[in-house]
């Protein structure tokens, strides 16, 4: 191995550690603010009535882009997907799931404890990390249906979204158009996050260190999922 190759690998490892540190910093920030609705956004939504499409598109995109639990799950889902048609299938299943329960949850005012639903979302990250690590085949001798699991966890992620919307005390005047606009924003935010993940993964996969560090990356993701679950369950029992 040449000196330049060793130096290149050291730089890649350093970059990888920096990205992991940044990711966990963001997760920690998200955990601290997991049930907080931005006061400016909350006050605006509580004051307005009628149809306001662009503000709700913005709110939906903002929630998805800053929703690190959603992004972590999405990162895990596409971690070993290379073909665009496979990525599109899984992302569509996830979108169908969270769009359905988000819209129905708000429309029918289905209230779910935010700590519990966010703990389940954390478990979705744990599930996907274990799946990527091949744990189910080694431990139990079977492979869960990844498409069904993505859809089901998408449903739970949707209830997480609806919980946040209900915290806005949204007006029933113009509810359906505003909800549709919010969902459009969520999908735009998801596409933005997906594009960023795919670009980063594309560069990483072309390096010799991808397969050496793939398992470690999923261990970190597993740890992050347990951190999210633990935080939410702690909040549930002490609140």
**What percent of the chain has a predicted confidence (pLDDT) above 70?**
83
DSSP secondary structure code for residue 83 in this structure: S
DSSP secondary structure code for residue 50 in this structure: S
Give me the pLDDT at residue 67, please.
86
Give me the pLDDT at residue 41, please.
72
Comparing 73 with 27, the larger pLDDT belongs to 73
pLDDT digits (tens, 9 = 90+) for 98-132: 999 999 999 999 878 999 999 999 999 999 999 99
Give me the pLDDT at residue 232, please.
94
Give me the pLDDT at residue 68, please.
86
Q: Which residues, including other chains, have CB under 8 Å from residue 88's CB and lie 6 or more apart?
A: none
Query: Does the structure show a pLDDT above 70 at 169?
Result: yes
Query: Looking up tokens 């980063």, which residue turns up?
Result: 200
Give me the pLDDT at residue 9, please.
56
CA 193 from centroid of its chain's CA atoms: 9
This prediction has a pTM of 0.82
Query: Does the structure show a pLDDT above 90 at 176?
Result: yes
Query: Does the structure show a pLDDT above 50 at 32?
Result: no
Query: Does the structure show a pLDDT above 80 at 209?
Result: yes
Residue 1 half-sphere exposure, CB side, CA atoms within 13 Å?
Answer: 9
Comparing 197 with 8, the larger pLDDT belongs to 197
Domain boundaries, the chain: 3-238
> How far is Cα 190 from Cα 195, in angstroms, rounded to an integer?
9
Q: Are 165 and 108 in contact (CB under 8 A)?
A: no
Averaged over 3-21, what is the pLDDT? 53
For residue 10, what are the CA distances in angstroms to 15, 28, 68, 214, 219?
A: 9, 27, 28, 16, 21
Query: Does the structure show a pLDDT above 90 at 39?
Result: no
Listed range (36-50, 145-159, 199-213) with the worst mean pLDDT: 36-50
Query: Does the structure show a pLDDT above 70 at 228?
Result: yes
Per-residue tokens: 218? 């999923």
Give me the pLDDT at residue 96, please.
97
> How far is Cα 30 from Cα 208, in angstroms, rounded to an integer?
32
pLDDT digits (tens, 9 = 90+) for 153-164: 999 999 998 988
Q: Are 133 and 219 in contact (CB under 8 A)?
A: yes
Comparing 152 with 11, the larger pLDDT belongs to 152
Give me the pLDDT at residue 1, please.
53
Query: Does the structure show a pLDDT above 70 at 172?
Result: yes
Long-range contacts of 19-25 (CB under 8 A, 24+ apart): 19/200, 20/217, 20/220, 23/68, 23/72, 23/220, 23/224, 24/220, 24/224
Give me the pLDDT at residue 166, please.
86
């Amino acid at each position: 191995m040449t000196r330049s190759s060793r130096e290149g690998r050291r730089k890649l490892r350093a970059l990888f550690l920096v990205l992991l540190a940044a990711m966990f910093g963001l997760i920690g920030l998200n955990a601290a603010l997991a049930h907080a609705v931005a006061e400016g956004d909350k006050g605006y939504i509580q004051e307005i009535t009628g149809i306001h499409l662009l503000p709700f598109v913005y709110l939906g995109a903002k929630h998805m882009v800053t929703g690190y639990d959603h992004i972590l799950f999405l990162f895990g889902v596409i971690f070993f997907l290379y073909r665009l048609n496979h990525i599109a299938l899984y992302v569509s299943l996830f979108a169908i799931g969270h769009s359905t329960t988000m819209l129905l949850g708000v429309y029918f005012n289905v209230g779910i404890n935010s700590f519990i639903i966010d703990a389940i979302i954390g478990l979705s990250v744990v599930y996907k990390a274990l799946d990527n690590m091949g744990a189910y085949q080694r431990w139990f001798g079977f492979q869960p249906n990844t498409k069904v699991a993505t859809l089901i966890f998408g449903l739970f992620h949707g209830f997480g979204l609806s919980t946040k919307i209900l915290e806005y005390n949204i007006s029933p005047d113009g509810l359906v158009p505003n909800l549709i606009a919010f969902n459009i924003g969520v999908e735009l935010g998801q596409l933005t996050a997906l594009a960023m993940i795919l670009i980063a993964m594309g560069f990483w996969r072309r390096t010799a260190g991808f397969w050496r560090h793939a398992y470690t990356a999923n261990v970190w993701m597993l740890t992050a999922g347990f951190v999210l679950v633990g935080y939410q369950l702690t909040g549930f029992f002490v609140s």
